[in-house]
Amino acid sequence: MKQILIDTDILFEHLTTEKKESTLMKLMSRYDCFTTVINAIEIYEMAGVENKKYADMMLYGFKILGIHSRYAEKVAELISEAKTRNLDWNLRDAIIVMMAVQNKLILTTFNEKKYLNYSYVKLLKINK
């Protein structure tokens, strides 16, 4: 089974959709799904205290990747490469990309454009 890294936008859509089956549910039936501690933090922040239990229930089914020190040098290289090529970059996105690359995961998002400036990342673009 292919392994993918789910970005925050897909997690958020799951918590807010009124569709019978969210994009996340479809992905979880086809792939081995991971997310990162950064995505989890963003979901808890978006959910707030009043909806924490929904975030807890959703994230319970995930393998959540932490930030290991081995990523530091690689993230710095990725940002340096983007700067050299005069490309837009974002620290949060660079960390997510490197976590996907280092763990050999396909990054899955509704918004592939924000990751196109980073080399080496494999993207699975999902349409809403």
Which CATH number covers residue 45? 3.40.50.1010
Domain count within the chain: 1
pTM of the model: 0.91
| Domain residue limits at 10 | 3-125
Q: How do the pLDDT tens digits run along the chain, 128 residues long?
A: 799 999 999 999 999 988 888 999 999 999 999 999 999 999 999 999 999 999 999 999 899 999 988 888 888 988 898 888 888 888 999 999 999 999 999 999 999 988 988 878 999 988 77
CB atoms within 10 A of CB 7: 27
The token duo for 102 is: 């280092």
Residue-wise over 34-51: b if at least 16 C-beta within 10 A, else e? bbbebbbebbeeebeeee
Beta bridge partners of 32: 3
